[in-house]
Amino acid sequence: MKKEAFNPYLPSWEYIPDGEPYVFGDRVYVYGSHDFYNGYVFCMGDYVCWSAPADDPGNWRYEGVIYPKTADPLNRDGKMCLYAPDVTIGPDGRYYLYYVLDKVPVVSVAVCDTPAGSYEFYGYVHYPDGTRLGEREGDEPQFDPGVLTEGKNTWLYTGFCGVGDKSRTGAMVTLLDEDMLTVRKAPEFIVPGSAYAEGTEYEGHAFFEAPSIRKRGETYYFIYSSQVMHELCYATSDRPDADFKYGGVIVSNCDMHIDSYKPADMPTAYGANNHGSIVEIGNKWYIFYHRHTNGTWYSRQGCAEEIHFTADGSIPQVEMTSCGLNGGPLTGEGEHPAYLACNLFTSTPSAYVGGDGFPKIMQDGRDGDREEGYIANIKDSATAGFKYFDCKGIRKIAITTRGYAGGVFEIRTKWDGDPIAAIKIEYTNVWETYTADMALADGVYAFYITYTGEGNASLKSFTLMRG
């Protein structure tokens, strides 16, 4: 039986950011780095893979560890982290995994006969004389590899440009030989970093990191994280190695620029860096990206949204939602876990994660414990938003909360709308469920749950019930 798909698309206790999605055969595979719950730096884990049937993208399967960080000869002691990877099918039909370790400027490659098997170290991208890409005089350090193979050509996209850093020029592309390692054509720059974007179409949205490449029809889409970090932008060209024109923002993990349900300059989630790409699943296209949890930068989770192309190939920016890969709104009945919140904010606006005054999605236990996520640190004015639900005959709502807090949770269908229900809660150190009447006409709704009162509460779930 097909499962509903929602955000995050993996279990709430899994932290796989930097998602690169592909359809191989009849399954969708997602490759990414591997954060830990309560991690203290980015990308602390080995590479793992998850996959789902292309016709059932809510039914994800854990494929296991596909590449341990100690497999690289430069990292036998495991002291370096595996940063964001990408995968491509080489001319020989094998699957090639490209990645960068956190303290070296070179690109490593591993290979496997299947999409999610055990990858084995293959070598380092290098020039014909054996010098590794990133170590030749004049090379800029390699970072965040994205790859595209067409016939016998493999294009490698890399780069990192800190804001204002004139030593980093922009995103670069390198052509590799059939062996998937040897540089056939040296790096060329295709999108400028912030230090070189002034006066160009990229100004304000210059390249920062996270290069990714996809082809739709005859158009190449270069997806990247911009200088503001929370947004994934794109540029297009009719060739893979030059002439890219800025297109716009596809998604922001704080929903900046979106004005469909709130003011464009109002952040409604706590964002930070972003990384992902687009993919066609069935006859629909999606953008994969990540969100930040636990009030830090270091416990990120994968999300996805359906995107649409205009007649000229442009991609209008999409909202963050709770329904993600579902192909439509979620069922507006029954219990829904609070970690599905796509909006999280207070009366103090913030586009970036961090701060003791903000609510956060977290879990009990340690990394790897299969504990369902919930929203914690809910103080006065904290709001959690959930979008969207197809409701029929709903007459009551229940919430499950705990914490030393005394106040009221108000339910709205718009972030600034009138309350349609109010639920008073009391101090408790265990999960308690409270119910209220809620008259709701049939239709598709968002739900915004706002706390007003004293103390610090947590929210485990809300339940929509018929009359």
What CATH number is given to the structural domain containing 226?
A: 2.115.10.20
Same domain, 144 and 226: yes
Same domain, 151 and 239: yes
Same domain, 383 and 316: no
- DSSP bridge partners of 132: 126
Question: Is 18 a known active-site residue?
Answer: yes
How many structural domains does the chain have?
2
Same domain, 271 and 372: no
Which residue type sits at 413?
T
What CATH number is given to the structural domain containing 428?
A: 2.60.120.260
Which residue type sits at 83?
Y
Annotated active-site residue in 18, 20, 305, 319 = 18
Q: Which of these three, 306, 326, 346, is where a domain ends? A: 326
Does 372 map to a domain?
yes
Does 232 map to a domain?
yes
Does 15 map to a domain?
no
Annotated active-site residue in 14, 20, 140, 209 = 209
- DSSP bridge partners of 46: none
* Angle, CA of 309, 236 and 324, to the nearest 5°: 40
Does 335 map to a domain?
yes
**DSSP character for 352?**
B
Q: For residue 113, how many C-alpha atoms fall within 13 Å in the half-sphere facing its CB? A: 0
Render pLDDT for 408-438 as a digit per residue (tens, 0 to 9): 999 999 999 999 999 999 999 999 999 999 9
Same domain, 139 and 277: yes
Render pLDDT for 11-64 as a digit per residue (tens, 0 to 9): 999 999 999 999 999 999 999 999 999 999 999 999 999 999 999 999 999 999
What is the C-alpha separation between 49 and 116, in angstroms, rounded? Answer: 6
Same domain, 440 and 376: yes
Same domain, 111 and 212: yes
Collapsing DSSP to helix, strand or coil, 197 comes out as coil
What is the C-alpha separation between 399 and 460, in angstroms, rounded? Answer: 8
Same domain, 202 and 310: yes
Same domain, 269 and 368: no
Domain containing 434 equals 331-466
Of all residues in the chain, the percent with pLDDT exceeding 90 is 99
What is the C-alpha separation between 429 and 436, in angstroms, rounded? Answer: 21
Token code pair at residue 55:
């016709």
Same domain, 276 and 184: yes
Same domain, 322 and 335: no
For residue 388, say if its preceding peptide bond is cis, omega within 30 degrees of 0: yes
> What are the pLDDT tens digits along the chain (467 aa)?
689 999 999 999 999 999 999 999 999 999 999 999 999 999 999 999 999 999 999 999 999 999 999 999 999 999 999 999 999 999 999 999 999 999 999 999 999 999 999 999 999 999 999 999 999 999 999 999 999 999 999 999 999 999 999 999 999 999 999 999 999 999 999 999 999 999 999 999 999 999 999 999 999 999 999 999 999 999 999 999 999 999 999 999 999 999 999 999 999 999 999 999 999 999 999 999 999 999 999 999 999 999 999 999 999 999 999 999 999 999 999 999 999 999 999 999 999 999 889 999 999 999 999 999 999 999 999 999 999 999 999 999 999 999 999 999 999 999 999 999 999 999 999 999 999 999 899 999 999 999 999 999 999 999 999 98
